[in-house]
Amino acid sequence: MRGRSKPQHVTETYMSDWIAIGALAAVGLLIPVAMMVVSALLRPSVPETGKSTTYESGETPTGTTRIRFNIQYYMVALLFVVFDIETVLLFPWVTIYRPALEAGVPMIDLLWPMLAFVGILAIGLVWAWRTGAVKWTRSPRATRRKTEREVNQ
Amino acid sequence: MADAPAQLFPEFLVDTFGLPGVLGEVVAALIAAFVVGNIVLAFTGVAGPWAKRKITAAFTDRIAVSRVGPFGLLIIPASAVQLLAKELIVPEGVDRPTWDLAPIILPASALLGFAVIPMGQIGPVNLHLADPEVGFALVFAFASIASVSLVMAGYGSNNKYSMLGGLRAVAQNLAYEIPLIVTAMSVVIFAGTLEMSGIVAAQSETLVSIGGFDIPAWYALVNPFAFVLFLAANMAEIGRNPFDIPEAPTEIVAGYQTEYSSSYFVLFYLGEFVHIFLGGAILAVTFLGGPAGPGPESISFLWFVVKVWGFFLFTQWCRSALPRVRIDQLIEIGWKGMLVLSFANLVLTAVIVGVIA
């Protein structure tokens, strides 16, 4: 079974795979939209001013939500992009690895390009680890507050 | 198990009813997609209003939903009508198209993942919509669209709790996406193909024979370490305990879905359940032999149901038993623990396969 080519129906069904995926995408959109429509027909509408207030645990909302603040994992997000592209580039390698072995290519010839590739990124990860990029950064304010609390106790 | 792979579901319909040409293919694909979509909806229908309550009640020594119908089963239609008939409250300052689109994207993307999942056979019908050559990569791509929806809901709601939930969803995805996919890759090294049917077929080979009973080479048995790693990353991918920090009911109310009501809330709830079942289906295909099991091939759908529901039960067990990790712990576990382990697993698997093969 392994490394087999597509069964006999390859040419005629190559397209129909994607037709089927498209069909499920259509059904997948249809179901939520249908539920929204049914609900719109069923539900009452009794608008009151209090109801549409933004929920803030029962308090009157203060200020807007869309402010600028430190999301703390900015560096991690940058690192993620690099590693995500790496996984995409590794997919072809893992797919051909075993078929190539069975075709008689020596293991070391197959392994070293992948090890070199992963190795470069591993060095990057070690660097990020050492410089604290994958650590949850504490804002100076939070640290200050915490120390104040500890001092007060 | 050496038979030719069974026909895909749309092809089966084309052949059985003699539907001609491209139009016939489209019609067959739509019918097949509708059936698959409704099977998944039936799973979530049973899981959401009924099984989840029953399971949680059993774990916490209570009685739940027992009044309506036998075993309380009629609570399912009752809840459906009740939830759909609720008033939709649109809070002040929501970002309208974003806020409305988010509850469509979550269930749609999770359902789309089932397009490439081999769900086994009922009689002659093979419940498998499509088997493209890149199926295995595709299913992860579909499954991770969900976090886009969570960010949209978090940003669109104009609520601080929702915003935090959306941002946490991103942090979680950043931390676990790579270990998940790299661990899944170690399975592709064994199977040598990205086709879902190929990965299932590779697992039907015999690992060892004990007393005439063949134990199949399910990758959970071949590489239990990868299985555990994948299971943990999968729980994070679908946002269940101990990694349910985007919702975190005890910290940020309901996270990204705080401001949703009526059908919009139902769609989020439904989408999450579809996502849990998709996670279970991916786990089953990757590590548990897909729909394979004892007995004839024609009942293999039952085995698929057993495996997927087993995973659902596991998520509910974790929900009752495990504490939630903190977000800074999550980043540390993801980047310092699981990422390193998953790459070690990948390299080791490659070396071992190279030495044995």
DSSP codes, A68-110? ----S-HHHHHHHHHHHHHHHHHHHHHHHHHHHHHTT--HHHH
Residue B238 resides in a domain: yes
In this prediction, residue B215 carries a pLDDT of 74
Tokens 């789309």 sit on residue = B112
In this prediction, residue B309 carries a pLDDT of 92
Q: Pick the residue with more confidence: B253 or B208?
A: B253
Domain span including residue A129: 71-142
In this prediction, residue A139 carries a pLDDT of 65
Q: Which residues of B are less than 8 Å from A24 in CB distance?
A: 33, 36-37, 111-112, 114-115, 129
Evaluate whether A65 touches B158 at the Cβ level (below 8 Å). Answer: yes
Residue A147 resides in a domain: no
The answer on A75 and A30 residing in a single domain is no
Closest CA to B165 of B177, B149, B180: B149
In this prediction, residue B277 carries a pLDDT of 92
SS3 state of residue B213 = strand
**Pairing status of strand B125-126 against strand B206-210:** unpaired
Using CB atoms, which residue from B7, B115, B354 is nearest to A107?
A: B354
Residue B60 resides in a domain: no
In this prediction, residue A5 carries a pLDDT of 45
Question: Tokens standing for B184?
Answer: 């899944």
A57 vs B249: CA distance, rounded Å: 13
CB crowding B287-307: b at 16 or more within 10 Å, else e: bbbbbbbeeeeeebbebbbeb
Max CA separation in chain A (angstroms): 77
Closest CA to B164 of B150, B148, B143, B178: B150
Question: Tokens standing for B42?
Answer: 């039936």
Computed over every residue of chain A, the mean pLDDT equals: 77
- Average pLDDT of span B125-132: 82
Closest CA to B179 of B228, B114, B222, B244: B228
In this prediction, residue A19 carries a pLDDT of 84
Evaluate whether B331 touches B179 at the Cβ level (below 8 Å). Answer: no
Using CB atoms, which residue from B8, B91, B129 is nearest to A52?
A: B91
Q: Tell me phi and psi for residue B324, to 5 degrees.
A: -85, 140
pLDDT band at B281 (very low <50, low <70, confident <90, very high): very high
CB contact under 8 A, A73 and B132: no
pLDDT digits (tens, 9 = 90+) for B29-54: 888 888 888 899 889 888 888 888 88
Closest CA to B142 of A24, A76, A77: A24
Ranges of beta strands (E only) in chain B are: 121-122, 125-126, 206-210, 213-216
The answer on A19 and A77 residing in a single domain is no
- Average pLDDT of span A83-112: 84
Residue A61 resides in a domain: no
In this prediction, residue A3 carries a pLDDT of 39
**Pairing status of strand B121-122 against strand B213-216:** unpaired
Question: Tokens standing for A24?
Answer: 């499920």
Computed over every residue of chain B, the mean pLDDT equals: 84
A136 vs B332: CA distance, rounded Å: 8
Evaluate whether B311 touches B280 at the Cβ level (below 8 Å). Answer: yes
ipTM of the complex: 0.82
CB contact under 8 A, B159 and A33: no
Closest CA to B115 of B234, B278, B239: B278
How many other CB atoms are found less than 10 A from the CB of residue B47?
24
- Average pLDDT of span A18-47: 87
Tokens 């980047």 sit on residue = B335
- Average pLDDT of span A96-107: 82
CB contact under 8 A, A94 and B185: yes
> Range with the lowest mean pLDDT among B3-7, B207-211, B248-252?
B3-7
| Range with top average pLDDT, B112-116, B118-122, B124-128 | B112-116
Question: Tokens standing for B47?
Answer: 């899981």
Q: Give Cα B255 distance to the centre of its chain.
A: 21
Tokens 């270990």 sit on residue = B179
User: Which residue does chain B place closest to A116, by CA atoms?
Assistant: B347
Measured between CB atoms, does A73 come within 8 Å of chain B? yes
Number of domains in chain A: 2
In this prediction, residue A63 carries a pLDDT of 75
> Range with the lowest mean pLDDT among A135-139, B43-47, B177-181, B187-191?
A135-139
pLDDT band at B328 (very low <50, low <70, confident <90, very high): confident
pLDDT band at A6 (very low <50, low <70, confident <90, very high): very low
How many angstroms away from the CA of B58 is the closest CA of chain A? 31
In this prediction, residue B108 carries a pLDDT of 92
Model confidence at A4: pLDDT above 70: no
- Average pLDDT of span B265-276: 90
Q: Pick the residue with more confidence: B55 or B16?
A: B55
Residue B71 resides in a domain: no
One-letter amino acid for residue B284 of the chain: A
Q: What is the pTM of this model?
A: 0.87
- Average pLDDT of span A31-56: 84
Phi-psi region of A116 (alpha: psi -120 to 50; beta: other; left: phi over 0): alpha
Tokens 């609390």 sit on residue = A149
Q: Write out B176-188 in H/E/C secondary structure.
A: HHHHHHHHHHHHH
Model confidence at A70: pLDDT above 80: no
Number of domains in chain B: 1
Q: Which residues of B are less than 8 Å from A97 in CB distance?
A: 189, 192, 350, 353
Residue B118 resides in a domain: yes
How many other CB atoms are found less than 10 A from the CB of residue B339?
22
Domain span including residue B333: 92-356
Q: Pick the residue with more confidence: B5 or B136?
A: B136
- Average pLDDT of span A78-96: 86
User: Which residue does chain B place closest to A102, by CA atoms?
Assistant: B357
In this prediction, residue A2 carries a pLDDT of 39
> Range with the lowest mean pLDDT among A17-26, B214-223, B278-287, B338-347?
B214-223
Q: Pick the residue with more confidence: A75 or B114?
A: B114
Handedness of CA A13, A17, A19, A20 (dihedral sign): positive
Residue B221 resides in a domain: yes
Using CB atoms, which residue from A1, A32, A99 is nearest to B104?
A: A32
SS3 state of residue B210 = strand
Phi-psi region of B120 (alpha: psi -120 to 50; beta: other; left: phi over 0): left
In this prediction, residue B201 carries a pLDDT of 83
B354 vs B351: CA distance, rounded Å: 5
Evaluate whether B18 touches B135 at the Cβ level (below 8 Å). Answer: no
Closest CA to B118 of B203, B175, B238: B203
The answer on A117 and A75 residing in a single domain is yes
Residue A65 resides in a domain: no
The answer on A87 and A24 residing in a single domain is no
CB contact under 8 A, A4 and B198: yes
Residue A108 resides in a domain: yes
Tokens 């490394």 sit on residue = A3
In this prediction, residue A148 carries a pLDDT of 64
Model confidence at A150: pLDDT above 80: no
In this prediction, residue A11 carries a pLDDT of 46
CB contact under 8 A, B267 and A32: yes
Residue A88 resides in a domain: yes
Residue B308 resides in a domain: yes
In this prediction, residue B245 carries a pLDDT of 80
pLDDT digits (tens, 9 = 90+) for B49-102: 888 888 888 888 888 888 887 888 888 888 888 888 888 888 888 888 888 899
Q: Which residues of A are less than 8 Å from B346 in CB distance?
A: 90, 94, 118
CB contact under 8 A, B158 and A64: yes
In this prediction, residue A82 carries a pLDDT of 85
One-letter amino acid for residue B96 of the chain: R
Residue B263 resides in a domain: yes
pLDDT digits (tens, 9 = 90+) for B186-236: 888 888 888 888 888 888 777 777 766 777 778 887 888 889 999 998 888
C-alpha distances out from residue A124 to A77, A114, A130, A144, B226, Å? 14, 16, 10, 31, 24
Q: Name beta bridge partners: B125.
A: B122
Q: Tell me phi and psi for residue B250, to 5 degrees.
A: -85, -5
Residue B236 resides in a domain: yes
pLDDT band at A14 (very low <50, low <70, confident <90, very high): low
CB contact under 8 A, B339 and A125: yes
Residue A121 resides in a domain: yes
pLDDT band at B134 (very low <50, low <70, confident <90, very high): confident
Evaluate whether B48 touches B269 at the Cβ level (below 8 Å). Answer: yes
